Structure formats: C-alpha cells, structure tokens
Amino acid sequence: MGAARARRGTWAVAVAGLAVLALGSSACTTTVSGNATAGPGGSRVIYVVAAENFWGSLASQLGGSHVRVLSVVSDPNADPHDYESSAQDARAVAVARYVIQNGAGYDDWMTKLLAASPAPGRRVYDIGAALGKRPGDNPHLWYNPAYVTAACNHIEADLKALDPKDAAYFTARRAAVTAAFAGIRAQLTQMRHDDAGKPVASTESIFAYLAGYLGLRLISPPAFMNAVSEGNDPPVASVVEFQRQLSARQASLLVYNKQTATALTTSIGGIATAHHVPVVGVTETIQPPGQSFERWFGAELAALARALNGGTR
C-alpha cells in the first residue's frame, strides 16, 4: 500500500474540542452508565471515535445531535491497512465513550490505542469480531450491504445502552437512516435482477463482498486480489492468468481501488482498456470525506451499473 498519510486540518480542532468538553464537563456527567456527557443546553452527548469514516458516517447519522463523532481515517491519501496512529489519535480514544473499529486485522492500530488507554464504561464495537471475522479474512466489510445493516443495528443498540433515557430518539434516528438508504436498496435490487451471473474482475478483494451480494461472478485470480490487498507482490502465475482473462475479454468490467493504485494495477487497467473492458474505480474510504455513506455508496453502485450495461444506466 504505502500511501502517504494525511489528515484534514479540522481534526486537530475536533480532537482538542473533544478533550476539553469531556474533561471540562466531568462535574455535569450524567449517571447513565457514566457514558453520556452533558452538552450545551443539558442535552446528552456521546463522544464517539470511529477508526474509519464509513463507520463514522453511520454512527453520526444514527446518533444525530446526541453524538459527536471523530473519524480517524478519512483522507484519500491515508490507507487504513497501514495507517500509523498519532498522539492526537490516542488523545481522542482516551476521552471517547464509544469506539468503533472495523477489525479483522484491518485497523490493528486502533486495538493498540485502546489497550494503551483503558477506560471503565467505554464501549467498543469491533465489527469484524461481531461478524465472526478474523485476521486473514477479507476485511472490507462495509462493501457487504448485509454487514452494513448488521452494523447499523448494533450501533443503535450500543447508543441506547450508553444513553437509555434517549432510546426513543435513537429509534427515530434508526428509522431515518433506513429511509435514507431506500435508494441504495432499490439500486441493489435492480442490479441483482439485471446483472446476476455476469463475470467481473477486480484488482483486489475490496470488491469481493459486493460482487457476491449482487450475484456477479468474480473471476480474477484470488491470489492476485489478496496479495494486492495486503500490499504484496502477487504470484507470477496469477498475474499471467489475470492478463490472459482481460486480453480475452472474459470479464464484463474491471474494478480497481483508486486509493491503492500501483504500477501493476495500473498496468492491469491498461490491458483492460486496450481490450475494451470497462474499468471502474472504487475507494477504500468515503470520498469526498464530507459525503454520507449512502451518497458515496450510491454513486459507486451507479457507476458499476452503467459499466455493466454499456453505459445505458
């Protein structure tokens, strides 16, 4: 991977504000599990740190005005696989009442931050562990719509446990998120109807869950996809096989990760283009960072649908 690491300039302000509010409001902390802190006007606010912005977006929407969410990795130049945490990140985790991490070996740096600053009453949601995933399994969980639904349900339940007095509010927020994802559900249903069974290729495993959910046949060599996902050189035989597949136009499209492009994946994309195989880029994190999960994911689905149908959708 080796991507440059950067963070938005607002992060330092957000972390500083998080720490000041959490520490400065200690005398006003509610007794509800010690996890909901009094905010302006007496409203209860749960301070949340999400390892990545795709989970942070969902937490922000599900929590509404009763959460303050900081997503650690959101910059397009930062790769969660090999992200190096900072003292700023450690301070944010230290004062957080709720931490969400992807797990499955994807963000082990968050596990280290949590171990370095244990906090009684802090709630941690390791999504991979909850889904039965382990390091070595495909960690791109947010590309499986069923896993996203499970994560939303879990986050809703956690927020209610942290702030039970506002359970009705979180129920309403969950309903709002369900409504916001209506377009996504419609897109997925349409694609499963129109495109199931079509052969597709991907430079890495980021697309594997979504391909399976849509009923697409992912034909690219697993050894190639897994190696690229881990930042390793794929076996030569898998490279040769992948090149042969694209040269023979065996795939309806090629998906690549815009945030982890290498000389090899760029070369693979060039072969696809030369043989008139549509190439579609996806991103590891929500881009641009300010978009909601559903707008970002919906745009990616639309691009995939157009490529699978000759640009007619």
Q: Is 63 in contact with 36 (CB distance < 8 Å)?
A: no
Helices 108-116 and 87-95, axial angle in degrees (round to 10): 60
Provide the pLDDT for residue 261.
86
154 with 255, same domain: the answer is no
CA atoms within 13 A on the CB side of 84: 6
284 with 210, same domain: the answer is yes
Q: Which two structure tokens, joined as six digits, stand for 186?
A: 């419609």
C-alpha distance across the termini of the chain, in Å: 33
Q: Which two structure tokens, joined as six digits, stand for 304?
A: 């995939």
Provide the pLDDT for residue 40.
44
Work out the burial of residue 28: count CB atoms within 10 Å of its CB; fewer than 13 is exposed, 13-18 middle, 19 or more buried: exposed
Helices 293-308 and 53-63, axial angle in degrees (round to 10): 130
CB atoms inside a 10 Å sphere around CB 97: 24
- pLDDT tens per residue, range 135-194: 999 999 999 999 999 999 999 999 999 999 999 999 999 999 999 999 999 999 999 999
Is 313 among the domain residues? no
Determine the Cα–Cα distance for residues 78 and 65; give it in Å rounded to an integer.
28
Is 186 among the domain residues? no
pTM of the model: 0.86
Provide the pLDDT for residue 254.
98
Provide the pLDDT for residue 33.
33
Determine the Cα–Cα distance for residues 211 and 231; give it in Å rounded to an integer.
21
26 with 102, same domain: the answer is yes
Q: What are the helix (H) ranges across 49-101?
A: 53-63, 87-95
168 with 65, same domain: the answer is yes
Provide the pLDDT for residue 6.
31
28 with 148, same domain: the answer is yes
Q: Can you give 77-146 as a three-state secondary structure string?
A: CCCHHHCCCCHHHHHHHHHCCEEEECCCCCCHHHHHHHHHCCCCCCEEEEHHHHCCCCECECCCHHHCHH
Q: Is 300 in contact with 307 (CB distance < 8 Å)?
A: no
Q: Is 63 in contact with 69 (CB distance < 8 Å)?
A: yes
Is 120 among the domain residues? yes
- pLDDT tens per residue, range 65-79: 999 999 999 887 776
Is 114 among the domain residues? yes
Low-confidence ranges of the chain (pLDDT < 70): 1-43, 79, 311-313
Determine the Cα–Cα distance for residues 25 and 140; give it in Å rounded to an integer.
37
The number of distinct structural domains making up the chain is 2
164 with 30, same domain: the answer is yes
104 with 213, same domain: the answer is no
Determine the Cα–Cα distance for residues 46 and 229; give it in Å rounded to an integer.
34
Domain that holds residue 20: 10-180
